[in-house]
Structure 1
């Protein structure tokens, strides 16, 4: 029989700049590249094993994400997260989650309901264990809803925002909103009922609760 043709050539290939971007994102988020650290072209070339061009393209994207700051002829460095930036990012993230729930839940298939339920199960387990992975679960929830909203612009807006939110969390490790577990049954019911308005209302309330939680924690810090 004839030899089958390889499918490799038809598979999507990542651009070199995207590979570099992923590596730099991971390095910033796990603390390998720390806030305020200067990014030197020669050192990055040696570390990543690529030319300057994809590195500079990746850095430009990181600047767009707010994770790197640069000033011509002075410095290129990892940005230092601030509380205001953290608040702003999560306010927008919950707002997107509300909108995405309204658009996506009426479109849910049975498989979507099952997959969404697994995310909620993870969130409940992490809340019970007081595991900070619950922050990742919140972001997974928003991304899941966005991906099923059938809105390409919303998806393109959300992807860099989640990267930025993960970066900003580095500077705010103490802020975890454990009470998110209280809304999980409501989100599950909204998903099963394909009720976008109910899902959106729950996420809107979750965003308000997160803001109140942050205000309380920071008020306590200021008084201590």
Structure 2
């Protein structure tokens, strides 16, 4: 009897370089691999249990993301982002978020709106508790909007920006903006109305508020340093 064909879809298998990339990316973003730390091939091989080839391919991607820097015959190391790079990353991240909101929100079905509402509920809960998990909530919200934007180029381009922003925020831990409840509820209303322009305007307003918040903290820190 001939062997019957399987009716099940084969599950996608990740390339080894992608598995290595995920592990290195997570280690950089949670601080296991710290800013300025040199990346040694032999140590990475021992840690990850793979050959040098997928490690080097993953490192090349991390260089593209702006998380690792290389100089031939000198070093490969995790970058040490500056305050200016932090500002650049978040300005671009909010720009992506605004664009994704304008494109995604009008086309959300009821299931997606409910998923979005749960993300907003979680963010509100963490903001009220002044829990730094709010940063992860913001990342999840932006990833949701990008995924539902329907634009493959935006999805692909946003990957590097989102990963860059996750990393640089580790170097500026004081910049957490808690006063987001009004913005979250306004965004919820825009999503229920499928009003992409209103949703984009909410994100633009929250971006402006966060920038003002950072400016106030920096001014206060500068005054404290001047009088110390």
What TM-score do the two structures reach when normalised by structure 2?
A: 0.94
For residues 1-224 of structure 1, the aligned pairs below 5 Å read 5=6, 7=8, 10-224=10-224
How big is each residue's C-alpha offset from its partner over 1:92-146, in whole Å with a ceiling of 9 and x where there is no partner?
1111111111111110100111000000000100001000111111111111111
* d(CA) in 2 for partners of 1:129, 1:3: 56
| Cα deviation, residue 201, structure 1 | 0.5
* d(CA) in 2 for partners of 1:141, 1:106: 16
Structure 1 unaligned regions, length at least 5? none
| Count, aligned residues | 222
The secondary structure found in structure 1 opposite 2:94 is helix
Judged with a 3 Å threshold, the aligned counterparts in structure 2 of structure 1 residues 31 and 110 are, in CA distance, closer, same or farther, namely same
The secondary structure found in structure 2 opposite 1:31 is coil
The secondary structure found in structure 1 opposite 2:38 is coil
| Cα deviation, residue 79, structure 1 | 0.6
The secondary structure found in structure 1 opposite 2:119 is helix
What TM-score do the two structures reach when normalised by structure 1?
A: 0.95
| Cα deviation, residue 82, structure 1 | 1.4
Structure 2 unaligned regions, length at least 5? none
How big is each residue's C-alpha offset from its partner over 1:139-190, in whole Å with a ceiling of 9 and x where there is no partner?
1111111111100000011112111111101101111011122211111110
| Cα deviation, residue 5, structure 1 | 3.8
